[in-house]
């Protein structure tokens, strides 16, 4: 699967987001080493701290399905924003836990443009097990 297809998958799940408060749907699609794609959407709660982002929904779903941190290949994040939609800081820290530093991260915008970064570029000074 190429990056355009992965981004298209992330865009497809936008409609499934539960966003009654912000009206800001986000979709994520993760390519696994076995070729499977795991998707996620943001799920809001009236207590915003209980909200879960699309990226973490997809990561946690993959883990629940038996995948391990060595199984992740790439992630695409989609929304209808003017600029590229970056993951929040909590999601970036979860990326550091499960993704290799050089793993591709595809950010998109409402014009369907794609910006490719790595996990390390998104979070250059990540807190890792080396810091424990």
Per-residue pLDDT tens, the chain, 132 aa: give them: 899 999 999 999 999 999 999 999 999 999 999 999 999 999 999 998 899 999 999 999 999 999 999 999 999 999 999 999 999 999 999 999 999 999 999 999 999 999 999 999 999 887 876 666
CA distance 28 to 129: 26
Q: Which residues are catalytic?
A: 55
* CATH code reported for the domain at 3-131: 3.40.140.10
Q: Domain ranges in the chain?
A: 3-131
Contact criterion met (CB below 8 Å) for 88 and 48: no
- Among positive and negative, which fits the CA dihedral 88, 70, 63, 76? positive
Look at residue 68 in the predicted model and tell me its pLDDT. Answer: 97
- Binding site residue list: 53, 88, 91
CA distance 91 to 25: 16
- Binding site residue list for Zn(2+): 53, 88, 91
């Amino acid at each position: 699967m190429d990056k355009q297809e992965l981004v298209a998958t992330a865009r497809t799940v936008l409609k499934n987001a539960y966003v009654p408060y912000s009206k800001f749907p986000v979709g994520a699609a993760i390519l696994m080493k076995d070729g499977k794609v795991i998707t996620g959407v943001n799920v809001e709660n009236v207590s915003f701290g209980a909200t879960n982002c699309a990226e973490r929904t997809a990561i946690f779903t993959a883990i629940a399905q038996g995948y391990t941190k060595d199984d992740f290949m790439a992630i695409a994040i989609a929304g209808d924003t003017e600029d590229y939609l970056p993951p929040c800081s909590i999601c970036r820290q979860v990326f550091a836990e499960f993704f290799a530093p050089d793993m591709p991260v595809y950010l998109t915008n409402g014009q369907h443009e794609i910006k490719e970064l790595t996990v390390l570029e998104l979070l250059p000074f990540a807190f890792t097990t080396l810091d424990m």
